[in-house]
Amino acid sequence: MSENVLAQNLQEAAAFVGERLNGRAPKIGIVLGSGLNPLANEMENPIYVAFGEVPHMKKSTAEGHVGRFVCGELAGKQVLAMQGRLHAYEGNSAQEVAFPIWLMARLGIEQMITTNAAGGINESYREGDFCIMADQINMTGRNPVAAPEAAELAERFFSMTDSFDPELRALAHESAREGDVRVQEGVYLGLLGPSFETPAEIRAFRSWGADTVAMSVCEEVIAARHLGMKVLGISLVSNMAAGVGSVDGIGGASPNGEEVMDCAKMREGDFKRLITGIVARM
């Protein structure tokens, strides 16, 4: 794919979605991760655009991901939400994962909240906590900008310092205090997936300073920062990572997909209060 083809594909996708939005021009984007999709159902006056309808965009195949854009009002603001996301473990390239983020930038989104369910590495965390991302470690082995056509969308070399905007993180803490939602703040580590991590990997990641781990977000954040979007990242600690809680590295937590969805269901109310409070302050 040449740069011109990628740029043309984004232009065609933006023209299609923009026409469906019928004059709406949201500035806030939200990516809703595993088990967190129901928040989009709370948006008023929604317009729906399925991922599969958007030219040049892949469909979502992940469990618990509806796979559509929802544009509507949340906390009195116009918001464009992704009800689900694209993952590397679904067979998508780094550029395919980044495509909807670049698309949102083309549609005028300036601030993005990306959310997911993650495993807790930090032993002071509890299942059901929310963790505001202070920084990230990209262990996917991929970077969506590492291709000529993607690199030419904006300046190839760009800073990832303060990738998660300090002002937006402060708003998240304010919303959590007001909504009585328990939050942590820490470093997120992203992997390719879809297998969960081994206890040995978790011990290594802890030594690197990682507090949470999951299979998404990093490539989205890189794509967003490449185009100058401000980003806030929030994980639901839906389970403790493999081996966490053991004394000698044997036993402890052994995560599975079912507990991720169960925890998200139990925290729907807290998640709604947290995100709507943040959006109201943006």
Hey, where are the domains in the chain?
A: 3-281
The model carries a pTM of 0.93
Do 69 and 48 contact (CB within 8 A), yes or no? yes
* CATH 3.40.50.1580 fits domain 3-281: yes
| pLDDT number for residue 257 | 61
pLDDT score at 34: 83
Q: pLDDT tens, 152-188?
A: 999 999 999 999 999 999 999 999 999 999 999 999 9
Q: Give the model confidence (pLDDT) of 199-210 as tens digits.
A: 999 999 999 999
| Contact call for residues 65 and 50 (beta carbons, < 8 A) | no
Question: Which runs of E-coded beta strand occur in 170-216?
Answer: 183-190, 212-214
Alpha helices (H) along the chain: 3-21, 94-106, 148-151, 166-179, 199-208, 218-226, 257-266, 268-281
Give the per-residue pLDDT at 251.
46
Residue 250 pLDDT: 41
The pLDDT assigned to 254 comes to 61
Q: Which of 239, 233, 128 is nearest to 185 (CA)?
A: 233
Residues of the chain with pLDDT under 70: 1-3, 245-257
pLDDT number for residue 148: 93
